[in-house]
Structure 1
Amino acid sequence: MKTIITHANVITVNDQNEVIADGAVAFEGNRITYVGPTPGDLSGYDQVIDGRHKYVLPGLINTHGHAGMSLLRGYADDLPLQEWLEEKMWPLEAQFTREQVKWGTHLSLIEMIRSGTTTFVDMYDHMGAVAEAVASSGMRARLCRGVIGLTSEEERRRKLEEATTFAREWNQQADGRITTMMAPHAPYTCPPDYIMQIVERAEVLNLPIHIHMSETRFEVEQNVKDYGVRPVAHLENLGVFRRPTLVAHAVHLTDEEIETLAKYDVKVSHNVVSNLKLASGVARVPEMLAKGIDVSLGTDSSASNNNLNLFEELKLAAILHKGVTYNPVAVPAEEALRMATRYGAACVFQPEALGSLEVGKQADMIMLDASQAHYHPAHNPVSHVVYAANGHDVTDSIVAGTFLMRNRELLTIDEEKAVSEANRMFQLLKR
């Protein structure tokens, strides 16, 4: 079917940061076929959607999260990271079954679709349940079985095989919407030889690596105490950066470490809300961007955020760094929007297919209701998206040319059932 959205404000996020007033985007199958002014002749299209009073822009890309953890939203707030993890999160997560992860993931998918995310990265356990949920929902995701190595040798071997099997079997599934990675959880949760084994598997499978890194001062200091070097040098020595790598957080970096990440073209997921809520600190995003590092946006889990509304990350990424650097142009609106789209595409290692509205790219896009008062006067659509919009403004969500939400109606997930089941799954946990 040939579909065209007409008479909209089209925010392309292309190389020219082009915004097309009275613009149109057309797609057929899963690909964009036209981006430009609204044509006078629309007779060649099977479906014409009037986009008046709408913004059309690329779907947002959330580059770090743990979808199943939505069951723990609000359970243990206002704690330091290590206490939050070790005393609150890990004991409950150890009880998670496939069903818990399934319904926690469905809850997260609903939230992401409703708030404009079309692609996300997920690192967790029971990843088969996550992949199945993604496949049926129509979303796009880069998935990995997170591996913690603070266990027996036998358990480490089992986890590695499980992660390898998942990565092999699910890569390029769901018509290519699902891709995979290998994921040692973090330098402080995986012995060095175990990280090296995971890197070897990533090389065999020709897959990227995703890992938490330098999230807290405690983590960095512990790495120096245990291994004599900070996490960046540690991972470099272990060969992690030989593979395409996406690191989550990267809050505590030196100038030298930023240079190292740039040297290896390491990608970074900036989880600004989660890092602030857990008092982990503020990542040096302007400095990383200045060195050409692809810095994208991630929510982390809704247990540490406490939502998956990437518009919150988008605005905060634009304004927080102005405040801490006393520089009003530290992260301009245009750059923040690229972090949520183009740089996100680079961080999921699909820059040729995602992140902007251009002919030939995947038809992943969202529509915002710009008729509302907070979009007016309509001086600058990019500014309004970054500083004024929010996830509740999303009316339509399209992935690979398929509507997942149309006029705010979810089309691929039973929201009432998912909410009910998620609440039931939490009640089964022993607390």
Structure 2
Amino acid sequence: MMSKRETGRTLMTADWVVGHEKGAHVLLPRGEVVFEDGEILFVGHGFPGEVSQRIDYGAALIGPGFIDLDALSDLDTTVLGLDNQPAWQKGRIWPKSYMQAGPREMYTSEELRWQKRYAFTRLIANGITTALPIASLFYREWGETWDEFTGAAEAAADLGLRVYLGPAYRSGNTYVKGAGDIAFHFDEARGLAGLAEARRFCETFENTSDGLVRTMLAPDRIETCTAGLLRETAKVVRELDVPVRLHCCQSAFEYNSVVEMHGISPPQLLDSLGFLSPRAILPHLTYISGANGITHNAPDLDILADSGAALAHCPLVMARGGSSLQSYARYRDRGITIGMGTDTHPPDMIANMQVGLITARLAGDGADVSSADLYTAATLGGARALGRDDLGHLSAGARADMTVIALDDPAMGQIIDPIQTILLNGSGRDVHTVVIDGRIVMRDGEISGVDHSAMREQAQAQFDGMKAQYPDRTFGHPPVDAIFAPSFPIRSAAQ
């Protein structure tokens, strides 16, 4: 059951409040935020009206809720591939034998529905108030299903999370043809059927659950979608006016595969198909012409900037794999809208901002990229990517989506500026309270009706069951302990 909005006017105050002036954030020491019926009425100092309740969070920062354009919504498997490489040898790509036997679902429908709810609690706990869920299709028969996304809509409504939902679909996948030899399999009819189901989902669920549930289209990856599927997706985007998210330019393999299949770069392909528009959200854009070893001669950055498409910047997961944007400032200064995504566990937006700042400076941006840039991307940037001028900031008329980040833990260190301090020493674990659409969905770290310990145990049990299925979907079918070697030799008590 969805929690109720606070009754009457609620005034929140803290040592710091992130206000909003002329399209940009400002800092308000001992500021006040007043909201009622899901809408912010006042941000500033000395509210002159009457209120039903006052909440003083003391040494804390009250800011707009984080917007996660690529929010993990299943059990994360990054840990399986962290040290276990190469991917084709460790079950991260299907072997030909598994393809011939017929791919299967590795989770039950009940487990898939539960995983959405579990993941949504982790998003809220990390201060994410608007989420566009993402899950891996490596563990699926093909695409995502109507049933699990019905469950996702129910979970979001119950927990009070603002979401944009749409089942992922594709027309192809990669598989291991031979040792180190990666090939593609395509079934365009199946992809188009997935698009039709996704369209029906959008038409059914758009703007439901009191406006918390919105919809989007989610074709999987550019290299696993035929030109026909991408063209038809763009047509549906125009007809329904919903966002579309497509993972693009995220690896040299993907970029070069698109060039080999189509003769043009990924941005050129999307442009030729009418796919790019201000409704398009593209994670991760780390591999474009002139970046990360890509030598193809294409005006990729100009194409992306001129289209109005947004970048979903996911620096933590990309850095774990050894890549990053070659220059955050270059994308920003070219006018590309930059929002943030987590795309991994934990969905810690603070950690992503920290890694984003670090990798930008390692890439040579220096002081040209600041803490303010990353915080803006995680709030205003995400709102712009979604075309929502009522999200991502705290000002009168905006939706009451807020995150309270505690500043009183000794680990936070000394504070000269709250944003800089959080990006230096903060963590998602410092998120104290979360308000979404005027509902306090997390209070003092507690989400009503959620037993985090029990959910962790169930998540581990499902994860162990999935891992046990790896041998038949791994090239050469080695045993599980050969696929996933421990960091150090394990010695049991009997040894």
Superposition TM-score, scaled by structure 2 size: 0.80
SS at match of 1:172: coil
Q: Does 1:6 align with 2:6?
A: no
Q: 1:379 aligns with which of 416, 419, 422?
A: 416
Give, in whole Å, the separation in 2 of the partners of 1:372 and 1:61: 25
Choose which of 319, 336, 360 in structure 2 pairs with 1:293: 336
Matched with 1:220 is 255
Task: Please tell me whether residue 258 in structure 1 is matched to residue 301 in structure 2.
Answer: yes
92 and 248 in structure 1: CA distance in 2 versus 1, 3 angstrom threshold: farther
Match of 1:31 among 28, 36, 39: 39
Match of 1:357 in 2: 394
1:191-238 deviation line (CA, Å, top 9, x unaligned): 111211222222222222110001001111111111000100001111
Aligned to 1:76: 81
1:293-318: CA deviation from partner (whole Å, max 9, x where unpaired): 1111111133xxxx211111011111
Whether 1:321 and 2:344 are equivalent positions in the alignment is no
Correspondences of 1:300-315 after superposition (within 5 Å):
300-302=343-345, 307-315=346-354
The correspondence of residues 31-430 of structure 1 with structure 2, limited to 5 A, is 31-39=39-47, 44-70=50-76, 72=77, 74-78=79-83, 79=85, 85-87=92-94, 94-124=105-135, 125=144, 126-150=148-172, 151-242=186-277, 244-254=279-289, 256-302=299-345, 307-325=346-364, 327-350=365-388, 352-411=389-448, 413-429=450-466, 430=469
Determine the structure 1 residue equivalent to 2:473: none
Whether the 8 Å contact between 1:60 and 1:119 is mirrored in structure 2 is yes
Amino acid at match of 2:123: M
Q: Deviations over 1:372-399 (max 9, x none)?
A: 2344533112211222221111110110
Counterparts of 1:139 and 1:66, CA distance in 2: 14
Q: Deviations over 1:388-430 (max 9, x none)?
A: 2211111101100111111111125343443333234334433
**One-letter identity of the residue aligned with 2:13:** T
In 2, the alpha carbon distance for the partners of 1:156 and 1:360 equals 41
Query: 2: CA distance between counterparts of 1:81 and 1:167?
Result: 34
Change over 3 Å in CA distance of 1:243–1:269 after alignment to 2: closer
Segments of 5+ residues of structure 2 without an aligned counterpart are 1-7, 136-143, 173-185, 291-298, 471-495
Contact 1:68–1:100 (Cα < 8 Å) also in 2? no
Q: Which 10-residue stretch deviates more, 193-202 or 147-156?
A: 147-156
CA deviation after TM superposition for structure 1 residue 284, in Å: 3.5
Which of 129-138 and 338-347 deviates more? 129-138
- State the Cα distance separating 1:248 from its structure 2 match: 0.8
Aligned partner of residue 196 in structure 2, secondary structure: helix
Find the residue that maps to 1:48 and give its secondary structure. strand
Paired residue secondary structure (1:379): coil
How far apart, CA to CA, are the structure 1 residues paired with 2:204 and 2:465? 31
- Counterparts of 1:61 and 1:383 in 2: how far apart (Å)? 19
Task: Write the distance in 2 (CA, Å) between the matches of 1:102 and 1:207.
Answer: 24
What secondary structure is seen at the aligned counterpart in 2 of 1:188?
helix
Contact 2:166 2:218 in 1 (8 A): yes
Whether the 8 Å contact between 2:324 and 2:359 is mirrored in structure 1 is no
Deviation at 1:73, TM superposition (A): 5.4
1:188–1:222 CA contact under 8 A, matched in 2: yes
How many aligned positions are there?
422
Point out the more displaced range, 136-145 or 213-222.
Answer: 136-145
Q: Over aligned residues, Cα RMSD in angstroms? A: 2.4
Q: Contact between 1:311 and 1:389, CA under 8 Å: does it hold in 2? A: yes
Instruction: Describe the shift of the 1:104–1:77 C-alpha distance in structure 2 as closer, same or farther (beyond 3 A).
Output: farther
Secondary structure, in 3 states, of the residue corresponding to 1:252? coil
Amino acid at match of 2:28: I
Decide whether the 8 Å contact of 1:363 with 1:400 is kept in 2.
yes
Higher mean C-alpha deviation, range 413-422 or range 283-292: 413-422
Cα deviation, residue 133, structure 1:
1.5
> Take 1:82 and 1:162, find their aligned partners in 2: how far apart are those partners?
31
1-side partners of 2:104 and 2:311: how far apart? Answer: 26
State the alpha-carbon separation in 2 of the partners of residues 384 and 278 from structure 1. 27
Change (3 A) 1:360 1:92: farther
| SS of the residue 1:101 aligns to | helix
Question: Max radius of gyration: which structure?
Answer: 2
For 2:363, what is the secondary structure of its paired residue? Answer: helix
SS class of match (1:321): helix
